[in-house]
Amino acid sequence: MQRLFLFLYQYRAFLIFLFLEVICLWLIVRNNSFQSAGFFNSSNRIAGNLLQSSDNVSDYFNLADVNNNLAAENARLKQELEALNSRLQYLKLDTTYETTDTTLVTDIDTLTQDSLQIEKYQFLSAKVINKSVRNYNNYITINKGRSEGVEPDMAVIGNDGVVGKVKAASQHFAVITSVLHSDFQISSKIDKTGDLCTAKWPGNDPYHAELLFVPRHVEVEVGDSIVTSGYNAIFPEGVPVGVVSDVEITEDALFYNITIDLASNFNEIGYVYLIKNSLKTEQDSIQQEAEKFYAQ
């Protein structure tokens, strides 16, 4: 027994070294598992407040850019609103005068369905206070947390397209797993043909991503736009993911090698929108039930 203690004492440095490294590895593995809420991330109170005050300072330097972007976004939204309004008015007029028209009835049906779809998703805007772009696993910290209604697994989009999804939220801050993360996959589709595929970031270049599982019978061309499929209950359908920039296929391959230009420029993200899908639990549970049913 005494010799055991002597042995332990003699190699205490190495043993403590091993012990600390094992703790680190355990932390890394636990942090890598996709869904987790921990104290040691930038959403905790001290780190969040520090990053926020640092961001307040650096804000002044890109106010002009942010203003321009917001103005452009405003203009676009106004235009959209105008278009929708005019459509609505037209429909109202029509319903009062020609209620017998059958095509109109279906039109109104789609309209009410649309409004259901709109209510399904709730939007929440937030400001980016910290981000990384050049690591293998990149995260974004925002200035809204649980008290504003942010929850893990909410989808995050920017002005131009997909940004990521919420990983962990504290009272006033939240950490977002960016699309530039080695575990992140977006269920997407080719807008033109509707074929399903998966977008994934390969790990080196923050402007490009790969498109996986596009079978060779699909006709893909450079310039096709890729949007989210809406099949995984996190992202709504039709959010831009990117644009095809390079298409390759070898003789015997089953799938294309496709590179896309990501729609969002992660270097310049200042504001993001969080999307809450109010029907998410319902969709997930019915899908799981169906899977169970077919598994038998």
Partner 1 sequence: MLNKGIITQIFSFILYVLVQVLLLKNIVLFDKSFCFLYIAFLLLIPVEAKVLGLMVVGFITGLAIDTFYDSLGIHAAASVFIMFVRNYWLNMLTPQGGYDSGTVPTISSNGLRWFTSYVLPLIFLHHCVLFLLESWGFGLLGFTLSKAFFSTCFTYIVMLITQYLFYTKKRSL
Q: Which residues bind partner 1 (CB under 8 A)?
A: 12-14, 16-17, 20-21, 23-28, 30-32, 38, 40-42, 44, 47, 50-51, 54, 58, 130, 132-137, 139, 141, 175, 182, 203-205
Cα 152 off chain centre by: 12
CB of 238 to partner 1, least distance (A): 30
CB of 214 to partner 1, least distance (A): 22
**What proportions of the chain, in percent to the nearest 5, are helix, strand and coil?**
40, 25, 30
Name which of 41 and 188 has its Cβ closer to partner 1: 41
Name which of 9 and 293 has its Cβ closer to partner 1: 9
CB of 273 to partner 1, least distance (A): 21
Consecutive H or E run containing 270 = none
Name beta bridge partners: 131: 140
Q: Which of 221, 146, 217, 138 is nearest to 179 (CA)?
A: 138
CB of 276 to partner 1, least distance (A): 23
Name which of 203 and 215 has its Cβ closer to partner 1: 203
Backbone angles phi, psi at 279, to 5 degrees: -100, 15
Name which of 25 and 253 has its Cβ closer to partner 1: 25
Q: Which of 206, 198, 201, 202 is nearest to 256 (CA)?
A: 198
Cα 89 to Cα 93: distance, rounded to the nearest angstrom: 6
Q: Rg (Cα) of the chain, in Å, rounded?
A: 24
Cα 28 to Cα 26: distance, rounded to the nearest angstrom: 5
CB of 204 to partner 1, least distance (A): 6
CB of 68 to partner 1, least distance (A): 21
Secondary structure of residue 32 in the 3-state scheme: helix
Length of the chain: 296
Name which of 47 and 186 has its Cβ closer to partner 1: 47
Amino acid letter for position 91: L
Tokens of 245: 């920039």
Name which of 56 and 285 has its Cβ closer to partner 1: 56
Name which of 182 and 193 has its Cβ closer to partner 1: 182
Secondary structure of residue 145 in the 3-state scheme: coil
CB of 196 to partner 1, least distance (A): 26
